[in-house]
A and B are shown apart, each in its own frame.
Chain A
Amino acid sequence: MGRTLAEKVWSDHIVHEGDGLPDLLYIDMHLVHEVTSPQAFDGLRATGRPLRRPDLTIATEDHNIPTVDVDKPIADPISRIQVETLRKNCEEFGVTLFPLGDLEQGIVHVVGPQMGLTQPGMTIVCGDSHTSTHGAFGALAFGIGTSEVEHVMATQTLPLKPFKTMAINFEGELPLGVSAKDLILAVIAHIGTGGGQGYVLEYRGEAIKGLSMEGRMTICNMSIEAGARAGMIAPDATTFEFIKGKPHAPRGEDWTTALSYWETLVTDPDAKFDKEITIDASSLRPFVTWGTNPGQGLPLDQAVPDPQSFSDPVERKAVENALAYMGLVPGQPLKEIAVDTVFLGSCTNGRIEDLRAAANVIKNRKVAQGVRLLVVPGSTRVRIEAEHEGLDKIFLDAGAEWRGAGCSMCLAMNPDKLTPGERSASTSNRNFEGRQGPGGRTHLVSPEVAAATAVRGTLSDPTDLVEV
């Protein structure tokens, strides 16, 4: 019988078959950042174990760093210690690190792909749940906890039970004005935050094939928000084109060998998924979340739902809690919700194409009075590329803040935070209570919706804007 893409990558990495116990899987690339690694490095020291493959390990500073005054020492002493600890650990264990101020610094999931370190058929892990991003290249990539970080450091492997596979088939093409973000938000609303639990999701169909690598990364990124271990998309010409010429892309004969291997990384026609669902892509519209988990979303042209319309009591309670926290009333049109802050960035939507899409909407327009638009490129390279294209000027002319690269207000570990009660439209991936600052309220949106919202001051899509 044929095999799925995920099964092919899995079986190519088995070091030792589990026979009922988990398989021991080889890890091709381990990405490290300052927040989930210090205790793992400590563990190595405590047990006297060496880091097995520093040459398959790469570190960057992203979660905890400021996005202004990046040439000065970090003001928050606890953040500074954490970042300095990463520097010391990388030095001690021989790990390549891209520190603040380095051209290659940025959010770990933006850095890997832009350096060509993310390639089809690889196993990639990181102490970060959004490692699923790298699945856009046909890699099996997933987030791990700190104990597993230590495990990979010590052994370059992980004992894992095979994941189940789920195909998400899209029928038809994405309508104009509907982005990858809208598509994945719709998927999560459809299957729920636990719907993908235990599965690797493979996104398939014309709507996926038509997407750029940036769009595919946006989708795979949020697989974890549906509870899935990983998301994958079969590599194709778009993938190969993206990788070609990147600093760590294979060259010469290696490129030819790699390509012929990568081309085999598709689900066989007779392969069987454990589960398949089909979604009509052509019916999708711009999407936004109204609640406090990423599954609580609706098309932007709808209204805040009524808890009474949910028959399941657990779900009804969750909706009531969410509306109370978000300060929303049932029946309120989503487009009438006014925001204080718009955050454009994160590993979901902080890539060059995302900035272009938002700049395109905001060009020759102004950010609404009283609204703050924060633009945080996903990496320093993205920032420089955007500045080359003049995107920084477009944002600054509109009245936005143009920042250095990092996670920033996606999780508010650095000074970029919402204040209690403040409301944001955010291109990031989590609308959990307090995620963007204690008491902050988050609506997840696409870059285009973020830009239109910044201009109108209420949740909006670009078609709501008057011509300029």
Chain B
Amino acid sequence: MDAFTVHTGTAAPLHRSNVDTDQIIPAEYLKRITRHGFEDALFASWRKDPEFVLNLPQYEGASILIAGPDFGTGSSREHAVWALQDYGFKVILSSRFADIFRGNSGKGGLLTAVIPQDAIEKLWEITELSPSAPVTVDLQALTVTAGDYRCEFEVDEYVRWRLLEGLDDIGITLEHSEAISEFEKNRPSFKPVLK
């Protein structure tokens, strides 16, 4: 995974709350067995509407998505994260993310930054007035900056550390291989085992 420190890009305002992962990527696209190539699937059904924010020319190339509360609810499909990344998003801003989605994002290197709903609304306003204004998300300083506007964001400390370092979770865990083997020796025999 590539390390993440600061990202600057343009942002798209998504005026929806409860954006569930079925909207981010409909089930139809989950039949694929690859980890990439999901850009066409992102918000597939909303994108049929020419007025949908990602269809507006002024938001073309946006890499930051500013969404309403409870983003990423529902299904655990990590394809939602892959679709957002394949489309070009690096950061999602919302006042509240669903847990599994947030976890998946952290693994894949998509930053889910939590800011209060009033900051979301302020950023909606800014990006509507000037869609091409650059927005900077700084994972070191934990700030979002758009022109004169600046706010702080929250992110899980552990996820932050991993993103900053670009670390692979499995690699970290495998350093505890001995402890895992030790634990396994003491597992009770009544626990189910296959075969």
Of residues 3 through 41 on chain B, the ones whose CB sits less than 8 Å from some CB of chain A are 15-18, 20, 22-23, 26-28, 30-35
Q: Which residues on the B side are within 8 Å of A146 (C-beta)?
A: 78-79, 104
Any B CB within 8 A of the CB of A338: no
Contact status B191-A434, CB under 8 Å: no
Of all chain B residues, which has the CB nearest A197? B99
Number of interface residues of B (CB under 8 A): 59
Of residues 54 through 112 on chain B, the ones whose CB sits less than 8 Å from some CB of chain A are 68-70, 73-79, 81, 96, 98-100, 103-104, 107-108
Any A CB within 8 A of the CB of B172: yes
Contact status B100-A129, CB under 8 Å: yes
In the complex, besides A55-B194, A194-B96, 6 extra interface pairs with C-beta distance below 8 angstroms are A35-B31, A78-B32, A82-B31, A127-B76, A145-B100, A413-B28
Any A CB within 8 A of the CB of B180: yes
Q: Report B8 CB to chain A, min CB distance, Å.
A: 26
Interface set of A (CB-CB < 8 Å, partner B): 15-16, 21-22, 24, 26, 28-29, 35-36, 38-39, 42, 47, 49, 52, 54-58, 63-64, 76, 78-79, 81-82, 85, 96, 116-117, 119, 122, 127-129, 143-148, 150-151, 154-157, 159, 161, 193-194, 197-198, 224, 227, 229, 248, 250, 254-255, 257-258, 261, 292-293, 314-315, 317-318, 321, 411-413, 430, 432-435, 438-439
A–B pairs, 26, beta carbons within 8 Å: A28-B191, A39-B33, A39-B34, A52-B180, A54-B194, A82-B32, A122-B192, A143-B100, A145-B103, A147-B107, A151-B173, A155-B180, A157-B180, A193-B70, A227-B70, A229-B100, A250-B190, A254-B189, A258-B190, A314-B17, A321-B16, A411-B75, A412-B28, A413-B28, A432-B74, A433-B23
Any A CB within 8 A of the CB of B132: no
Contact status B33-A197, CB under 8 Å: no
Interface set of B (CB-CB < 8 Å, partner A): 15-18, 20, 22-23, 26-28, 30-35, 45, 68-70, 73-79, 81, 96, 98-100, 103-104, 107-108, 117, 156, 158, 169-170, 172-174, 176-177, 179-180, 183-184, 187-195
Contacts A35-B30, A122-B191, A151-B170 given; does A21 touch B70 at CB 8 Å: no
Q: Which residues on the A side are within 8 Å of B187 (C-beta)?
A: 26, 28
Of all chain A residues, which has the CB nearest B73? A193
Contact status B170-A317, CB under 8 Å: no
Of all chain B residues, which has the CB nearest A17? B179
Which of A81, A150, A261, A434 has its CB near the most chain B CB atoms (within 10 A)? A434
How many angstroms from the CA of A26 to the CA of B180 in the assembled complex? Answer: 8
Q: Which residues on the A side are within 8 Å of B96 (C-beta)?
A: 194, 197
Q: Which residues on the A side are within 8 Å of B34 (C-beta)?
A: 38-39
